[in-house]
Amino acid sequence: MEFVDVPVVIEKDEDDKRPPRDKLLGILDQIEAHVERLRKETQLLEEKKDSIFTALDTIKNSDLITELQSTDRDDIDRYIERLTSRCTTIEVFVRTERDKEQEEALFQVNRYIDGLVVSFKTDPITTRVKCKSFMAACTSQPEIASDKAFESALLGCALDDQKKIKKRLYGLFTYIDQSTVIAQEINDD
């Protein structure tokens, strides 16, 4: 990872003729830009970690696992568990500041998304449609009607949370879509 130079405070700079307040504001503006860049980079790392967990979970629940002999399946399961365990040792976190209403809205949104995950096992087709309606709530020009209750909860969330929720829904939809296609291919055979 490349480290960008953080601004240095120079008390006496004969070449800089700005008043002290302007000098300090300039330095603080530079620091703020660094903080925002660091937040974005950290969020990308969070997403990469989540992608690894999703990939491991997808492999663990794939039909290929069921085709393995018992000893091979045990080896693969141990390998997945080892990678999962190693991945859990990585702590990457950007805290989003929220007020009480935003906390409640995020709780509601997470409850809706958890409901999708649970319903996927029993009804993948309906879950796929529902996920698509949740995704429609995340865009200004949806292709289909959005789920109004979900949209209302989403709009109550902090902006950073809304962005994460959108990415989470797209990842979940991709997983649902791939699983549905695989299930249809198996049924066609």
In tens, the pLDDT along 2-35 reads 555 666 666 666 777 888 888 889 889 999 999 9
38 and 30 Cβ atoms separated by less than 8 Å: no
pLDDT band at 165 (very low <50, low <70, confident <90, very high): very high
Is a pLDDT exceeding 80 seen at residue 91? yes
Phi first, then psi: give them for residue 176, nearest 5 degrees: -60, -45
Sign of the Cα pseudo-torsion (35, 38, 40, 46, in order): negative
pLDDT of res. 3: 56
117: its two tokens: 């995950």
Is a pLDDT exceeding 90 seen at residue 188? no
Distance CA 129, CA 120 (A): 11
Report CA-CA distances (Å) from 176 to 98, 102, 110, 146, 187.
Answer: 30, 28, 17, 18, 16
Question: Could you read off the pLDDT of 104-162 as tens digits, one per residue?
Answer: 999 999 999 999 988 888 888 899 999 999 999 999 888 899 999 999 999 999 999 99
Report CA-CA distances (Å) from 115 to 84, 122, 148.
Answer: 24, 11, 16
131 and 169 Cβ atoms separated by less than 8 Å: yes
Say which amino acid occupies 185: E
What percentage of the chain has pLDDT greater than the value 70? Answer: 88
157: its two tokens: 């969330």
Question: Could you read off the pLDDT of 45-56 as tens digits, one per residue?
Answer: 988 998 898 888
Distance CA 34, CA 49 (A): 23
pLDDT of res. 99: 97
Please state the pTM of the whole predicted model.
0.64
Instruction: Name, in order, each residue with C-beta under 8 angstroms of 83's C-beta and a sequence gap of 6 or more.
Output: 52, 56
pLDDT of res. 187: 52
pLDDT of res. 6: 66
Residue 45's Cβ-count burial label (10 Å; 0-12, 13-18, 19+) is middle
Over the chain, what is the mean pLDDT?
Answer: 87
Q: How many helices and strands (H and E) does the chain possess? A: 7, 0
Helices (H), 61-99: 63-66, 70-88
